[in-house]
């Protein structure tokens, strides 16, 4: 759910290591792991709302109906915690319930405004609706609240790109690519966006360098084209389709003798 809770997963490893150091016996090491696992589950219950972990696991398995029900039970158990609302926003977004997802994400932020992930998911929900100004504000809020990865810079830049703010998008796209985006499809889009921005700014030679780099991502382009067939018909989908078609044309042109 949140990286700060990742420490719970090292508890069984620590107890197993301690058992091994003290006894040098595999049986006691295994027992130490079991004890650590039980302790981890107890700590998870104390720190996180009930049902939240189960809801997250169902969501990861694609069982949105069960995940939504469990997230609602988590909210009912701990209505003052932001995490269930954040997870519910993710589930509703995945289920194309944008209005509900926006309300859930906003509620998570109301409860704890310093969570970058909550601002990030709200930005994605707004971006999907073509509400780029609002999405950009949410993406910037994610950065202000600790979002330090390339993906955070990419999302702000993508909103700037859609708004025609070329000079503002370029440095963020450069930073996103420098930091690395843990998604090659988004890296492809970032490369295309920066080329388009540079072209709009009259920097033709620099733009051509980025256009040439698109050839590296033929597999990602094919995946994007395939994904467009299953993406819900959000307003952003129309703009994305135009981008993907333009990339495909550029790649075809570059490969032509």
Rounded to whole angstroms, the Cα distance separating 127 from 113 reads 19
Share of the chain above pLDDT 90, in %: 64
Of 231, 120, 256, residue with least CA distance to 244: 231
The CA–CA distances, whole Å, from 8 to 4, 20, 114, 146 equal 9, 20, 22, 21
Range of the domain at 220: 164-257
Pull the structure tokens for residue 234: 């959000």
Rounded to whole angstroms, the Cα distance separating 79 from 172 reads 37
- Residue 251 belongs to a domain: yes
Residue 11 has pLDDT above 60, yes or no: no
- Residue 71 belongs to a domain: no
Q: Mean pLDDT lowest for which of 71-75, 109-113, 145-149, 229-233?
A: 229-233
- Residue 20 belongs to a domain: no
Banded pLDDT at 52 (limits 50, 70, 90) = confident
Residue 5 has pLDDT above 90, yes or no: no
- Residue 52 belongs to a domain: no
Pull the structure tokens for residue 164: 């025609």
3-state helix, strand, coil in the chain (%, to 5): 80, 0, 20
The arithmetic mean of pLDDT across residues 205-222, rounded, is 94
Task: Please state, rounded to an integer, the average pLDDT across all residues of the chain.
Answer: 85
- Residue 239 belongs to a domain: yes
- Residue 224 belongs to a domain: yes
pLDDT digits (tens, 9 = 90+) for 16-43: 566 555 665 665 456 555 555 444 544 5
- Residue 211 belongs to a domain: yes
Model pLDDT, residue 37:
47
Domain count, the chain: 1
Are the C-beta atoms of 32 and 15 separated by less than 8 Å?
Answer: yes
Between these two residues, 223 and 233, which has the higher pLDDT value? 223
pLDDT digits (tens, 9 = 90+) for 155-185: 999 999 999 999 999 999 999 999 999 999 9
- Residue 153 belongs to a domain: no
Model pLDDT, residue 189:
97
């Amino acid at each position: 759910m949140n990286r700060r809770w990742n420490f719970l997963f090292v508890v069984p490893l620590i107890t197993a290591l301690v058992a091994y150091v003290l006894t040098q016996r595999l049986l006691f090491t295994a027992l130490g792991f079991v004890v650590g696992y039980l302790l981890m589950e107890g700590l998870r219950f104390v720190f996180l709302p009930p049902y939240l972990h189960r809801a997250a696991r169902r969501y990861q398995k694609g069982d949105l109906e069960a995940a939504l029900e469990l997230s609602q039970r988590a909210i009912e158990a701990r209505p003052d915690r932001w995490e269930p609302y954040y997870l519910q926003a993710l589930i509703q977004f995945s289920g194309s319930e944008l209005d509900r997802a926006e309300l859930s994400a906003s509620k998570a932020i109301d409860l704890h405004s310093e969570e970058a992930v909550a601002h990030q998911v709200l930005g994605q929900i707004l971006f999907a609706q073509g509400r780029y100004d609002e999405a950009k504000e949410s993406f910037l809020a994610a950065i202000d609240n600790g979002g330090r990865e390339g993906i955070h810079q990419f999302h702000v830049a993508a909103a700037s790109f859609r708004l025609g703010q070329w000079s503002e998008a370029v440095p963020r796209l450069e930073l996103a690519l420098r930091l690395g985006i843990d998604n090659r499809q988004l890296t492809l889009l970032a490369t295309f966006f920066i080329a388009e921005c540079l072209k709009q700014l009259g920097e033709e030679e620099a733009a051509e360098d980025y256009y040439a780099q698109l050839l590296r991502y033929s597999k990602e382009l094919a995946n994007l084209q395939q994904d467009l067939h299953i993406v819900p018909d959000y307003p952003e989908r129309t703009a994305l389709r135009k981008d993907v078609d333009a990339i495909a044309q550029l790649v075809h042109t570059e490969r032509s003798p």
